[in-house]
Structure 1
Amino acid sequence: MPRTPPIFAPTLRGTFYRAIDPAFRSSAVAGSRAAGRYSRAHEPTLYLSATREGVAAAMVAHRSARASALEVAEVDVEAWGIVDLRDPRAAEAAGVDLANAAAPWQGVAAAGGAPTSWAVRDRLLRLGANGLIDPSRQRPGLWHLVLFRWNEEGAPAVRLRDAADPR
């Protein structure tokens, strides 16, 4: 009998990266203030990249909506309950159509519609997920961590690393 693939990836621990407006550094781990690929405007969501290169790739799609002087902040993360959308078997086990995750979302949201990627979030939340790993569409091989919950009881933990913190 074939084994069902696990829905959740192993616990992630390490440093992740986020582009921030230096004026809002104190709230860098509060989550996004606007709608995103996996979040309606009223749904706090923390978008992080696994590498600095991933931040640069992600920002290609957001240049017009961002401050001109961004810095890359380092964020220490310990996260579990994450669905890895790079793994088609995990996505299938979670009932996620990868085409819905990858579909363009900005124009749909701007027109008042609901992008299909928001339904991906809704599906994963119903399964008890704390977030997902999203493969970069700009640079294959790079990936992003998207958290739906963090820094609350029973949720992943994140901490903004101070610029003076040693590695």
Structure 2
Amino acid sequence: MIDPRQTLPLSGRFWRSTFSGQEDTLLAPAQAPNGRWHHDGQKALYVSQTPEGCRVALRVYVKDGDPARQIYPIQVTHARIVDLRDPKVREAFDTRLSDLHVFWSDLMASGDPVPTWNLSDRLRKIGADGILTPSRSRPDLTHLTLFRWNIAGGPTVRQLGDPLTF
């Protein structure tokens, strides 16, 4: 199924934002039916390596009048991930950095193929638990997307502590 040379073990602290009062959904999959790395009912958990990564990733989604948000520390344990920050790994999967950073929603709206969906489908098929990617607007920041978690044989994800203010 998965070639261990294509994945890395990953455990560590990451961060996820949620609206205040919705902490019970902190470990739930993304609510939107489609996102950068999921489509058509697939599950994805989007987290960042730092609180700043959360702020940057959500910048385009924050609207005036939104409820307050908080950023929670999340512990990820025993994940097998593909590190798409590495140019050699991208090359092995025939993917360019520009493919990772497309405006997927614009492509979807125009009916064009979404390269991130194609890649995530391939990675799910080979058994990867998730991916590390550089932020589109701040490449010095890292995002983790998990395709599966808190199920038998998959990585474990849990809230680690108290939240920070968004």
1:25 maps to which residue?
23
Shift of 1:115: 1.9
Shift of 1:79: 3.8
* CA RMSD, 1 decimal: 2.3
SS in 2 for 1:125: helix
2:141 maps to which residue?
142
Residues 129/140 of structure 1: CA separation in 2 closer, same or farther (3 Å cut): same
1:14 maps to which residue?
12
8 A contact 2:14–2:48 mirrored in 1: yes
**TM-score normalised by L of structure 1:** 0.84
| Higher RCO (CA < 8 A, seq sep 6+) | 2
**TM-score normalised by L of structure 2:** 0.85
Unaligned runs of 5+ in 2: none
8 A contact 1:6–1:90 mirrored in 2: no
SS in 1 for 2:71: strand
1:73 aligns with 2:68: no
Shift of 1:86: 0.5
Q: Which amino acid aligns with 1:83?
A: V
8 A contact 2:79–2:156 mirrored in 1: no
The one-character-per-residue Cα deviations of 1:42-93 (angstroms, maximum 9, x if unpaired) are 2110000000111111112222499341110111111422010100111222
CA distance in 2, matches of 1:151, 1:66: 33
1:45 aligns with 2:11: no
CA distance in 1, matches of 2:64, 2:107: 16
Fraction of identical pairs, as percent: 35
Residues 26/148 of structure 1: CA separation in 2 closer, same or farther (3 Å cut): same
Q: Which amino acid aligns with 2:18?
A: I
Residues 66/106 of structure 1: CA separation in 2 closer, same or farther (3 Å cut): farther
Alignment of 1:82-161 (within 5 A): 82-111=81-110, 114-161=113-160
Shift of 1:162: 4.2
Shift of 1:24: 1.7
8 A contact 2:20–2:67 mirrored in 1: no
Higher strand share: 2
Q: Which amino acid aligns with 1:12?
A: L
1:59 aligns with 2:61: no
CA distance in 2, matches of 1:15, 1:102: 24
